[in-house]
Amino acid sequence: MGSKRIPSAKSNLEREAWRNGVYVCGVDEVGRGCLAGPVVTCAVILYPKKVFSLLKDSKILTKDQRVRAAKWIKCNSWYAYGIVSHYEIDRYNIYQATILAMKRSIMHVFSQVDQCPKKILVDAMPLTFSSPIFQGVEIESFPFGEMKSISIAAASILAKVKRDELMGVYNKIFPGYVLAGHKGYGTRVHYRSIHEFGLSIIHRKSFLTKIESYEREEFYEKQISLLCGSD
């Protein structure tokens, strides 16, 4: 038997807008549930009438498919990222930090287009704007957005690829945590690394309040060891 075909995201909302000569902006995030690293959001405005077979939920694509899709999206859309650091997550809480990241990405992508989109589609997170720029812009949020909108699917792909790249960089800085493997999520390997080395400077302390902390001197000695790449 052949492999089961993974359905593409729906394009009804986009096609309706394109028929009316207007743009649609899709927004999604990656990394809310991680123990370390940033939340990355992306806002994507697809060029009118541009569709692609790999515009699907990033979680059900392979790494190679995501990279291929990301290249297509970057050539056929306006897009922008919004990134909130572990520090901002601890300061504002994960919900508010994600909202902040989404708003950043939307503001950045809106500055690129010749006309403001008439609709913003968001995966799950409700958004509101007070700026007059967004007067007349309809904002819709709904669960499983990556399957209901190709714009949200595109945003989820770019956000996933970008965050994976960032975690690959952090992995070189803090090799003991195997960040390139689990991407900061709470796996057994990740928890074992935390118990061995303590919290790194990119861990979200608000997510790890029950982890026993190391003495300050020992903690910094291990951080220096990781940064220097010593065994």
Q: Give the tens place of pLDDT for each residue, 143-197.
A: 999 999 999 999 999 999 999 999 999 999 999 999 999 999 999 999 999 999 9
Backbone angles phi, psi at 205, to 5 degrees: -60, -30
Q: Rounded mean pLDDT of the chain?
A: 91
Residues of the chain with pLDDT under 70: 1-6, 212-231
Q: What's residue 2's pLDDT?
A: 47
pTM of the model: 0.89
Question: Minimal CA–CA distance to 112: which of 139, 74, 80, 84?
Answer: 80
Domain ranges for the chain, please list them: 12-165, 171-228
Backbone angles phi, psi at 3, to 5 degrees: -70, 150
Integer Cα distance of 154 and 46 in angstroms = 8
**The amino acid at 41:** T
Integer Cα distance of 6 and 15 in angstroms = 21
The domain made up of 12-165 is a member of CATH 1.10.357.10:
no
Question: Minimal CA–CA distance to 129: which of 103, 104, 154, 111?
Answer: 103
- Cα 37 to Cα 30, 66, 87, 199, distances in angstroms: 11, 20, 9, 12
Integer Cα distance of 223 and 231 in angstroms = 12
